């Protein structure tokens, strides 16, 4: 599969204008797109390379606590949000539906890239649910750390099957998700969504999942069960902050597979990504241009304790060995005596 990129800067001027984040702002991140194709009757391992457009960018005035759920009060003039306007509320009836599920992403500071799901909001507050291993320790606020020192946040919608892939893919096209696969390796999909031609449905419940949130940082498989090549574009806001991916082992003395994608619209050299690897860690890449379903990895990168090497040749990787935008990968974390995790926090190369 060929992937073409356009690191568009349509709105770059507004981003670079230096508008203060301490206020409710109207700034936009630059937008771009990544084109992907999936051969007929084949799988492609994909990942989201960009964000959805932020609904709010601002600064943390204060937080109520460091453990989840955290309520953030934003700095500056109250944005006067409607009660729970960032909480999914639909589908009910036309006019009252709020079909987005929102996330708060830390856009600066020690835990830049951390994501929390919005569970409630007030006029200038937003309450978020953090992943089990995350907390707000070390987060700076205007109140605690002085004016101008609060960490920045973005409030943005999660991607959904509908917003990422559209609703008009041919019926029988499938989205295979791998969130929460459990301990071990060679894990099959935990979510199988099917395109109906006008929506997406969950195989578990037959529910409409067109607007169900997709977790940040995970790769997925798009399965083209039709006889013609699928072409689609991922269109979104170019990430202007670091990504933060937690790489975990979930069992005792068991290698762990975790499908992931790096949030960037351009190729990113693996050797420059600061991946917190240990000897025995492996990254599998897949040839999305090859035909077939349930395809084996086409390339294997291994960490030997000091550097990443091509597992077939043994050659150290160079800057030419990259993670491709829009592609998904499989990280096989080397086993640990007991479940543990490390945080991979890295800004795209164009922000370095």
Q: Is 204 in the site for another protein (CB under 8 A)?
A: yes
Residue 135's Cβ-count burial label (10 Å; 0-12, 13-18, 19+) is middle
d(CA 206, CA 163): 19
Q: How many residues bind another protein (CB under 8 A)?
A: 40
- Helix, strand, coil proportions of the chain in percent (round to 5)? 5, 35, 60
Given its phi and psi angles, is residue 31 left (phi above 0), alpha (psi -120 to 50 degrees) or beta? beta
Looking at the Cβ atoms of 96 and 253, the one nearer to another protein is 253
Point out which span in 15-23, 219-227, 234-242, 270-278 binds another protein (CB under 8 A): 219-227
Nearest distance from C-beta of residue 188 to another protein, angstroms: 4
Among 46, 70, 130, 195, binds another protein (CB under 8 A): 195
Q: Give the residue with the Cβ less far from another protein, 72 or 222.
A: 222
- Smallest distance from another protein to CB 91, Å: 12
Hey, which residues between 290 and 349 contact another protein (CB under 8 A)? Answer: 293-294, 335
Residue among 65, 198, 272, 298 that touches another protein (CB under 8 A)? 198
**With respect to another protein, which residue has the nearer C-beta, 34 or 45?**
45
**β-pair partners for 154:** 57, 105
The answer to whether the CB of 198 falls within 8 A of the CB of 249 is: no
d(CA 240, CA 29): 7
Minimum distance between the CB of residue 197 and another protein, rounded to whole angstroms? 8
Q: Quick one: 314 exposed, middle or buried, by C-beta within 10 A (0-12, 13-18, 19+)?
A: exposed
Q: Which of 206, 306, 313, 352 binds another protein (CB under 8 A)?
A: 206
Considering only residues 92 to 121 of the shown chain, the ones binding another protein according to CB under 8 A are none
Q: Does 221 bind another protein (CB under 8 A)?
A: yes
Choice from 96, 137, 253, 313 touching another protein (CB under 8 A): 253
Burial of 149 (0-12, 13-18, 19+ CB in 10 A): middle
Residues 160-189 contacting another protein, CB under 8 A: 170-172, 174, 176, 181-189
Q: Does 126 contact another protein by CB under 8 A?
A: no
Q: Could you give the angle at the alpha carbon of 50 between the alpha carbons of 45 and 56, nearest 5°?
A: 145
Binding another protein (rule: CB under 8 A), the pick from 37, 62, 71, 225 is 225
Q: In sequence order, what DSSP letters do the residues of 76-92 get, joined into one string?
A: SS---PPTTTTS-B-SS
Nearest approach in angstroms of CB 269 to another protein is: 28
Residues 6+ apart with CB under 8 A from 184: 250, 251, 254, 255, 256, 257
Cα distance between residue 227 and residue 291, in whole Å? 11
Which of 344, 188, 178, 193 lies closest to 263, judged by CA?
Answer: 344
* Nearer CB in complex with another protein: 131/202: 202
Whose Cβ is closer to another protein: residue 23's or residue 167's? 167
Sort 109 into a burial class: Cβ within 10 Å, 0-12 / 13-18 / 19+.
buried
Please tell me whether residue 199 binds another protein under the rule CB under 8 A: yes
Residue 22 contacts another protein per CB under 8 A: no
Could you tell me which stretch among 136-144, 157-165, 217-225, 241-249 binds another protein (CB under 8 A)? 217-225
Which parts of this chain interact with another protein (CB under 8 A)? 170-172, 174, 176, 181-192, 194-199, 201-206, 208, 221, 223, 225, 251, 253-255, 293-294, 335
């Amino acid at each position: 599969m060929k992937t073409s990129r356009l690191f568009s800067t349509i709105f770059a001027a507004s981003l670079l204008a230096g508008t203060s984040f301490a206020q409710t702002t109207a700034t936009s991140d630059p937008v771009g797109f990544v084109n992907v194709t999936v051969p007929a009757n084949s799988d492609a391992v994909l990942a989201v390379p960009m964000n959805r457009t932020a609904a709010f960018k601002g600064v943390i005035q204060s937080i109520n606590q460091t453990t989840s759920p955290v309520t953030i009060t934003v700095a500056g003039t109250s944005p006067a949000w409607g009660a729970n306007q960032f909480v999914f509320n639909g589908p009910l009836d036309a006019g009252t539906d709020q079909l987005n599920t929102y996330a708060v992403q830390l856009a600066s500071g020690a835990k830049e890239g951390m994501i929390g799901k919005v569970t409630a909001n007030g006029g200038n507050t937003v309450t978020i649910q953090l992943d089990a291993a995350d907390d707000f320790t070390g987060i700076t606020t205007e109140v605690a750390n002085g004016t101008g020192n609060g960490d920045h946040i973005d409030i943005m919608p999660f991607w959904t099957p509908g917003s990422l892939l559209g609703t008009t893919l041919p019926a029988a096209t499938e989205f295979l998700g791998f969130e929460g696969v459990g301990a071990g390796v060679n894990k099959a999909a935990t979510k199988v969504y099917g395109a109906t031609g006008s929506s997406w449905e969950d195989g578990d419940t037959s529910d409409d999942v067109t607007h169900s949130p997709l977790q940040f940082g995970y790769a997925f498989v798009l399965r083209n069960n039709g006889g013609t090549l699928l072409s689609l574009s991922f269109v979104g806001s170019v990430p202007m902050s670091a990504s933060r991916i937690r790489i975990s082992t979930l069992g005792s003395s068991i290698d762990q597979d975790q499908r992931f994608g790096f949030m960037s619209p351009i190729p990113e050299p693996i050797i420059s990504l600061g991946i917190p690897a240990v000897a025995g860690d492996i990254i599998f890449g897949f040839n999305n241009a090859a035909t077939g379903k349930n395809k084996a990895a086409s390339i294997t990168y291994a960490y030997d304790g000091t550097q990443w090497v091509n597992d077939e040749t043994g050659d150290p990787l160079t800057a030419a060995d990259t993670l491709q935008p829009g592609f998904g990968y499989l990280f096989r974390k080397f086993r640990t005596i007991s479940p543990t995790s490390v945080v991979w926090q890295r800004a795209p190369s164009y922000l370095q």
